């Protein structure tokens, strides 16, 4: 019998490729979404779509029933209470595996950053749930580069002097899917690094050269400017992103990906390969 995996947050930037890859690898996929009709249109046939809310335990219980594993892809203010509710239900319903997207910078010493603190507490809830788990701690994803282009302008928050090993979402999805079939991956926290270290300004510039040739320069936006814009007329997402990048500039890229590469297979997609794959 095929194993059923529930993906919570499947419509997110990282949730969708994980759900698609799991189905390709032979799992039965169930997706929990607040808007079931919209999710069904997006994913099409071959996926079980149920409506639910991570703040509503009865809907989690109903959606989780009959599942082998649960992949958690949450962000923002819903992440803390959402993970707490999910792990509580998973423990009672004897779920066999939880997979969760965390980050390389998540550590107790860095919990002064709100986003990192949420993920640190979420990791702790997962480890204490009694359910087998696999926590993935990637660095930056290649797919976020598009967020740093606005019209004819491209920018990066701060100086960002440290190289980052960008991970393609498809590589990440393959690793998550593989973890469900590898017993050695059980109860592991994996650091995920892409195949090459790249300065953030260079990565954004290379992205623009393919998708936005009209952009002639990648500007450096000081953190105080980003905070000012966000507090007056900009989106809240800008403030969160600038705060996180300011913290990341101090913390740097952490961890050793050797175990993840050995157990799950290393990410292989370079930035240039990703650009060529996505240009059409």
Question: Is residue 233 domain-resident?
Answer: no
Distance CA 172, CA 253 (A): 17
Q: How many domains does the chain have?
A: 1
Give the pLDDT of residue 233: 55
According to the model, what pLDDT value does residue 195 have? 97
- Check if the beta carbon of residue 214 is closer than 8 Å to that of residue 151: no
Token code pair at residue 176: 């998550």
Residue 278 inside a domain? The answer is: no
Inside any domain, residue 248: no
What is the edge-to-edge ordering of all strands in the sheet holding 149-150? 149-150, 153-157, 218-221
pLDDT, position 84: 95
Q: What gap in Å lies between CA 107 and CA 62, rounded to an integer?
A: 33
At 105-163, the pLDDT tens digits run 999 999 998 889 999 999 999 999 999 999 999 989 999 999 899 888 999 999 999 99
Note whether 104 and 39 are within 8 A (CB): no
Strand, coil or helix: 156: strand
Tokens at 195, concatenated: 């195949």
Q: Which domain holds residue 48?
A: 4-142+167-194+253-268
Domain-embedded: residue 40: yes
Residues of the chain with pLDDT under 70: 224, 226-239, 280
Residue 200 lies in a domain: no
Q: What pLDDT, on a 0 to 100 scale, did the predictor assign at position 236?
A: 62
Q: Is residue 70 part of a domain?
A: yes
Decide if 235 is inside a domain: no
Q: Which of 164, 170, 174 lies closest to 195, judged by CA?
A: 164
CB 122 within 8 A of CB 90: no
What pTM was estimated for this model as a whole? 0.92
Structural domain includes residue 259: yes
We report the CATH number of the domain holding residue 15 as: 3.40.50.720
Q: In the numeric block, which tokens belong to residue 211?
A: 């998708």
């Amino acid at each position: 019998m095929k194993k059923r995996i529930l993906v919570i947050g499947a419509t997110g930037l990282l949730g969708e490729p994980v759900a698609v890859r799991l189905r390709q690898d032979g799992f039965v996929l169930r997706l929990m979404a607040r808007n079931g009709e919209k999710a069904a249109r997006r994913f099409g046939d071959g996926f079980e779509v149920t409506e639910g809310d991570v703040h509503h335990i009865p809907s989690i219980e109903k959606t989780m029933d009959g599942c082998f594993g649960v992949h958690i892809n949450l962000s923002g203010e819903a992440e803390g209470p959402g993970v707490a509710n999910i792990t509580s239900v998973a423990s009672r319903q004897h779920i066999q595996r939880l997979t969760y997207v965390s980050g390389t910078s998540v550590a107790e010493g860095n919990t002064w950053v709100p986003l990192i603190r949420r993920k640190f507490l979420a990791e702790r809830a997962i480890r204490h749930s009694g359910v087998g788990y696999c926590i993935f701690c990637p660095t930056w994803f290649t797919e976020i580069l598009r967020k740093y282009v606005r019209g004819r302008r491209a920018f990066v928050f701060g100086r960002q002097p440290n190289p980052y090993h960008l991970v393609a979402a498809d590589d990440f999805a393959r690793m998550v899917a593989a973890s469900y079939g590898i017993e050695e991956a059980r109860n592991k926290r994996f650091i995920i690094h892409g195949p090459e270290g790249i300065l953030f300004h260079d990565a954004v510039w290379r992205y623009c050269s393919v998708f936005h040739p009209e952009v002639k320069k990648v500007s450096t936006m000081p953190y105080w400017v980003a905070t000012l814009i966000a507090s007056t007329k900009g989106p809240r997402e800008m403030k969160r992103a600038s705060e996180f990048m300011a913290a990341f500039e101090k913390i740097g890229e952490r961890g050793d990906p050797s175990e993840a590469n050995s157990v799950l297979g290393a990410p292989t997609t370079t930035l240039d390969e990703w650009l060529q794959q996505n240009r059409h």
